[in-house]
Structure 1
């Protein structure tokens, strides 16, 4: 059984990935592993504490990663180990899924240069923050979710759609079509 790694850092948007992680683990029967730059606990946007299972450096040594999920959070600097992991997984054609501001890490790693993607982070927001834009705007698409090969990106408000795109990619509901349909109907009928 391969691992799905979730990158967590201070102020990450935990709500954007909880549905995906829950169903990947409990329906898809895959191991979900939290990863941070170090093993110190972080506090999410919701105020909950999370403790990484592995560091990014340790994840670089894992052989059984099926994919990486990156939630949104603040625009911030990126450590070289994360860039190395993203490039490694991209070369191996492993799933790279990022939502809201999370695609910033894929952008800095050069993964989005030749792929269509979306993000919640506008050019205006980057100007307000006075930071270098991590996104190659030529390949940006104004959609809720964009899947280009093994790379999945989404706007923050589309966290349910993002989850379902991940489920489809990983085959989480491959043998459980009726459960998938019912879950989607339940969410849409709220």
Structure 2
């Protein structure tokens, strides 16, 4: 299994911090030896700079990306999703969704999906219904918009940029790399900061 992390200039670092830390470290995995890879994919192989100033070199470029049936395309937000040069990535994501592949998008990346027509018939969320309508004049998915922090509809996950924790929870649930008890305790610990969930998390991994 591979998670293909889309890396574009102005990538919103905080929106994927929970996800990348846990997937890279595998510290919460039910099977730390699982065949898994986190692969960074860019529009090209050129280094990008995140919103936080971190420099990231893609592992592969979009034209080399080939997704398998168990893979996931992970799309963080950023300020470049409305630029014409990112349209090929959004089109690729829609094509993969239509083929049954898995895609997860947050914040500005949801607007890119909307612009590609990927949200017109699927339940989804974003920063706000008005955000999608303003960002994408052709957006026709209003009836399917959900006022939730994160929404999963089959092979698609969408989330508000204010909900990186809920986004991570849905991604981990979709990937099924944690034990169910581990995932629930992990989520509750970060959500509530109550010590009992730390103990539950440790117990779930014994």
Distance 1:134 1:11 in 2: 25
Could you state the TM-score of these two structures normalised by the residue count of structure 1?
Answer: 0.83
Paired residue for 2:122?
Answer: 115
Distance 2:161 2:131 in 1: 17
Contact 1:126–1:132 under 8 Å retained in 2: yes
- The alpha-carbon deviation at position 188 of structure 1 amounts to 2.1
Paired residue for 1:101?
Answer: 108
Work out which of the residue numbers 159, 177, 180 in structure 2 matches 1:177. Answer: 180
- Flag the 1:43–1:100 CA change in 2: closer, same or farther, 3 A: same
1:23 matched to 2:29? The reply is: no
Listed one character per residue, the Cα deviations across residues 95-138 of structure 1 (whole Å, up to 9, x for unaligned) are 110011111222222211110111115536875xxx64364333
Distance 1:13 1:3 in 2: 21
Paired residue for 2:200?
Answer: none
Paired residue for 2:4?
Answer: 5
Distance 1:65 1:53 in 2: 19
- Flag the 1:71–1:83 CA change in 2: closer, same or farther, 3 A: closer
User: What is the SS of the residue equivalent to 1:157?
Assistant: coil
Contact 2:132–2:139 under 8 Å retained in 1: no
Contact 1:12–1:73 under 8 Å retained in 2: yes
Paired residue for 1:133?
Answer: 137
1:187 matched to 2:190? The reply is: yes
Who wins on radius of gyration, i.e. which is larger? Answer: 2
Distance 1:126 1:135 in 2: 6
Contact 2:151–2:158 under 8 Å retained in 1: yes
Contact 2:82–2:112 under 8 Å retained in 1: no
- The alpha-carbon deviation at position 70 of structure 1 amounts to 0.5
Paired residue for 2:77?
Answer: 72
Structure 2, unmatched stretches of 5+, are 194-206
Listed one character per residue, the Cα deviations across residues 34-56 of structure 1 (whole Å, up to 9, x for unaligned) are 11111111111111111111111
- The alpha-carbon deviation at position 172 of structure 1 amounts to 1.6
Paired residue for 2:198?
Answer: none
Larger mean Cα displacement after TM superposition, 77-86 or 39-48: 77-86
Contact 1:3–1:67 under 8 Å retained in 2: yes
1:157 matched to 2:162? The reply is: yes
Q: Aligned Cα RMSD in Å?
A: 2.4
Could you state the TM-score of these two structures normalised by the residue count of structure 2?
Answer: 0.78
